[in-house]
Amino acid sequence: MAGRAASAPGVENDAVADDATATTPTTGSVDLEKSPTAATTESGTDIADTVESSEATDAAEPTTGRDTAWWTPKTMLLAALAVVFAVVALLGIIRPGTSEVSNQAWVDTAATQEVTSAGRDALQTVFSYKFDTIDQDQAAARAVLNDERRGEYDSTAEQTKQGVIQTQTTTNAVVTDIGVTLLDGDRAELLASMDIAATQDTVDQGTVQTPVSLTMERVDGKWLLATIDNR
């Protein structure tokens, strides 16, 4: 407003000039406007902040590159293997659908020895028979099997019996090594090595050496053969 009054052409009246001078301090529009200096200062501050922010971003980019450079395919493979090893280790302790397994193998010495002896006897009983005592041998085998395995054994027992009699076969199984890998309550897992010698009509058929993985289940206080895996 003051600028406009001062630049108005043809104004020579002192009263008008005095009025303009008197009203200048009270004119609110002048106070509300930013001075060129202030605007320049604020603009300069904003630019400086932008430059500093840009420089900080530019400076951070190489650091980010250094931070991610180590994540190479090799390190990713190692990380993946670490996860696999962790899962495998976990599976040795926790089994799907069950609570935490308490392995008492060799901690409970008496129970470990008991199931070891039962496992050895079960393997030798099931895989040993003679053509002239096959009925007794099969009855003994049934006695060391749990219900499920006994059902499977009976499904082929007669066929096995006839083949043994016709060929006059005799087998003798000897467990050479056996050990308990897991003992958890009424369930045990064992690994064994077994030699099975065979003859047919008194002719030696040689000896087969085989590793065996087996599971024993305690039923009514007696350890019975639950699974057999000739690996």
Measured between its terminal Cα atoms, the distance across the chain in Å is: 104
pLDDT for position 216:
98
Do the domain assignments include residue 63? no
Closest by CA to 100, choosing from 179, 181, 180, 182, is: 182
What's CA 115's distance to the chain center, in Å? 31
Which residues of the chain are under the pLDDT cut of 70?
1-101, 231
Residue holding tokens 């006059």? Answer: 168
pLDDT for the residue numbered 105: 80
Q: Are residues 141 and 44 in the same domain?
A: no
Name 42's Cβ contacts closer than 8 Å, sequence gap at least 6.
Answer: 34
Characterise 175 by phi-psi region: left (phi > 0), alpha (psi -120 to 50), beta (else).
beta
pLDDT of residue 107: 85
Q: 186 and 160 share a domain?
A: yes
- Residue 32 domain boundaries: 2-56
Rounded Cα distance, 130 and 128, in Å: 7
Q: Which two tokens stand for residue 115?
A: 């199931």
pLDDT of residue 76: 52
199 and 87 in one domain?
Answer: no
Same domain, 149 and 189: yes
The pLDDT value given to residue 110: 93
Q: Do both 31 and 113 map to the same domain?
A: no
Which pLDDT score, from 0 to 100, does residue 214 have? Answer: 97
Instruction: Say if 134 falls within a structural domain.
Output: yes
Regarding whether 224 and 131 lie in a shared domain, the answer is yes
Tell me if 28 is assigned to some domain.
Answer: yes
Residue 135's pLDDT is: 98
Q: Are residues 96 and 18 in the same domain?
A: no
61 occurs within a structural domain: no
Identify residue 42 by its one-letter amino acid code: E
Query: How many domains are there within the chain?
Result: 3
Nearest Cα residue to 222 out of 158, 159, 144, 166: 144
| pLDDT for the residue numbered 104 | 83
Q: Are residues 10 and 26 in the same domain?
A: yes
Q: Are residues 120 and 22 in the same domain?
A: no
Q: Are residues 94 and 88 in contact, defined by beta-carbon separation less than 8 angstroms? A: no
50 and 158 share a domain? no
User: Residue 223: inside a domain, yes or no?
Assistant: yes
Query: Residue 65: inside a domain, yes or no?
Result: no
Q: Give the separation between CA 18 and CA 13, rounded to whole angstroms.
A: 9
Q: Indicate whether 64 belongs to any domain.
A: no
User: What pLDDT is stored for residue 190 in this prediction?
Assistant: 98
pLDDT of residue 106: 78
Same domain, 186 and 157: yes
Percent pLDDT > 70 in the chain is 56
